[in-house]
Structure formats: C-alpha cells, structure tokens
Amino acid sequence: MALSKPRQAAAASRRLTIAWYGGGMRRVGILSRAGHWYKSGSSLVPIRWVFLRDRNGTYRDEFLFSTDPTLDPRMIIATSTGRWNLETTFQELRAWLGLETTRGWCRDTVLRLAPCLFGLHTVVALLYQALPEAKRVGRRTGPGRWG
C-alpha cells in the first residue's frame, strides 16, 4: 500500500476544537497514525504520531509523538499543551536563576541548589501575584528584558 504525500495527508486532516496553551480553546486540524520508530541498538518502537496544524495560523505546525500507540490524538495534544506551565517554569529558572549551569553539575550541589531555586522562583511569583494590579510595575517581555 502506497502512503500519501505529506500535502495530500495534511489536506485530509480532521478539524477539532481542543484545549490549548494557557487554558484557552483552539481550532486545529490533526492527522494521526500509528507507526514505528527506529531506536538504535534496539528493535522498532511502536508509536502514535499526531500532525497538528493551527487553523488560526498563529502557531507553527507541530508533530507530537507518543510511545503508547493506543492513545487518542486528543489525549496526546492535551498532555503536550498541559505541560506548558511546567516547561515555562523550567525555562525561566534556566534563564534567570542559572538552573542547570556548569556550576551546578555536582550531585550534592544539584540536591541543594535546585530546590532552593524552585522555592525562590515560587516566592517571587507569589509575591508578584499578590500585588494589586496598579502596583505591578513593568512586565516580563523575555529573559533580561522588562517593559
């Protein structure tokens, strides 16, 4: 059986409205299939892949993968978009507080430093959130930049 070309497959995608980053909803087109992934030194690993296209045109096309080929594509997308808060927390800890820098590669340092950095990040975020809107000065626009 011949596989369709990527453009043909993308045109045949299903349209859904799904939960999106930050708690909103988004209209998307998806295409999903089960397949295999080659893992060097091992056998083929069964996967489910999902091609995701934002119908609004504001988010890049994305491929998502799961090693559980029985998962519903909606669950794969929800798992990926649900990790957004966690991923941005790690990104901010790396950018602002030096998490995972070379000075923290020793096992004992990691065991001491990482919880302290997460705690500091949490305290600062909670203090900022506790301020009345009128008292919040500036806003974060990216690592090292305040607007």
**Same domain assignment for residues 90 and 77:** no
Q: What is the pLDDT of residue 102?
A: 64
User: Do residues 41 and 84 lie in contact, with contact meaning Cβ atoms separated by under 8 Å?
Assistant: no
pLDDT at 114: 77
Q: Does 72 share its domain with 107?
A: no
At residue 125, the pLDDT reads 82
Q: Is the domain of 90 the same as that of 116? A: yes
Per-residue confidence (pLDDT) for residue 4, from 0 to 100: 61
Asked which of 82, 98, 116 is the last residue of a domain, the reply is: 82
**Do 42 and 74 sit in the same domain of this protein?**
yes
Single out the residue in 30, 63, 82 at which a domain terminates.
Answer: 82
Q: Based on the fold, state whether residues 10 and 77 are members of the same structural domain.
A: yes
Asked whether residue 74 falls in the same domain as residue 91, the answer is no
- How many domains are there within the chain? 2
Q: Which domain holds residue 109?
A: 85-142
pLDDT at 68 (0 to 100): 92
pTM of the predicted model, to two decimals? 0.59
Please report, for residues 24, 45, 106, the alpha-carbon distance to residue 67 in angstroms, rounded to integers and kept in the order given: 27, 7, 32
**pLDDT value at position 35?**
86
pLDDT at 2: 59
Is there a single domain that holds both residue 71 and residue 108? Answer: no
| CB environment 88-98: b (16+ within 10 A), e (fewer) | eeeebbeeeee
Query: What is the pLDDT at residue 71?
Result: 92
Ordered DSSP codes for 9-49? HHHTPEEEEEE-GGG-EEEEEEEEEEEEEE-TTS-EEEEEE
Mean pLDDT per 10-residue segment, the chain (147 residues): 60 76 81 85 87 84 90 88 78 76 71 81 86 75 44
